[in-house]
Amino acid sequence: MPNKTAKPAAKATVAKPAAAKAHPAKAHAAKPAAPKAPVAAAHAKAPAAAKPAAKPAAAPKVEEKKVVTQRQGFKANEFVVYPAHGVGQILAIEEQEIAGAKLELFVINFIKDKMTLRVPTAKVANVGMRKLSDPALVKKALETLKGRARVKRTMWSRRAQEYEAKINSGDIVAIAEVVRDLYRSESQPEQSYSERQLYEAALDRLSREIAVVQHSTETEAVKEIEAQLAKSPRRANAKAEAADGEADSDAEGDTDDTDGDDTTVADEAA
């Protein structure tokens, strides 16, 4: 009996080391496989991590334009006189690139003409752009309208050129002289088409500047101009000259009658 029981105990003791050997072998075999998984994962994740690393191209920066409010003594929103077009308003002073060069420009709007003009700030003196006349100069221009017309005895084409030069000079007094010389009242002979055109151009330039300076309408300015023209001495003289002309014609008629009578008497005496 004791021998039978001892054999199974020995088998058990022999089986244990076999089981122990199998277990470490499994553990040892699993060890090399374990690190492969993280390496593969690392390699798989590496390209995915590289994609976000490439930053998208940055959008081009838009340079903000500098807002300029004053140049050459002129300000934005100010009314000015441009000789070739009359009174206009500076809407803005902007910078533009033309042929690779940057230029500062006055943007001038002429409301009545429905026109916008861009003038380089460096050339305002060359084009004759100026500020509005002061009230004292406007008063002088209105006084000029009351003077006697000075019409040269030259060909009309030559006088027309002189009038155009005065109108486009931008000088308010010179423009008033054109209005004075070309004005015709109802009692005077009608103007030719070219005379009327020049008169209306000069009247328009003068009335627009007076209206802006005096903060009135152009209609009111035209009425004031015509009132000053009516005070000109030639208006009163025109009536006097007309009366003198009628008197002279009557006197010439009387003289003719007298001569005829004298002739008759002489004939009869003969």
Give the residue, 237 or 206, on which the prediction is more confident. 206
pLDDT of residue 97: 82
Q: How far is CA 263 from CA 80, 176, 249, in A?
A: 74, 56, 21
200 falls within a domain: yes
pLDDT in the model for residue 247: 44
Predicted local distance difference test score (pLDDT) of residue 219: 94
pLDDT digits (tens, 9 = 90+) for 121-150: 999 989 999 999 999 999 999 999 999 888
Spatial CA neighbour of 163 closest among 183, 143, 135:
183
- Give mean pLDDT, residues 214-219: 94
Judge whether 18 lies within some domain. Answer: no
* pTM for the structure as a whole: 0.62
Q: What is the CATH number of the domain that holds 96?
A: 2.40.10.170
Residue 265: per-residue pLDDT: 34
Q: Which of residues 67, 101, 131 is at a domain's end?
A: 131
Question: Which secondary structure element, helix H or strand E, spans residue 229, and what is its range?
Answer: helix 218-230
CB atoms within 10 A of CB 188: 12
132 contacts 170 by C-beta, under 8 angstroms: no
141 and 182 share one domain: yes
Q: Is the pLDDT of residue 13 over 50?
A: no
pLDDT at 140: 96
Q: Is residue 233 part of a domain?
A: yes
Domain membership flag for residue 42: no
The reply to whether 119 falls in a domain is yes
pLDDT-wise least confident of 29-43, 44-58, 115-129: 29-43
Give how many domains the chain has, as a whole number: 2
Residue 162 within a domain: yes
Residue 121 domain boundaries? 78-131
Judge if 193 and 123 occupy the same domain. Answer: no
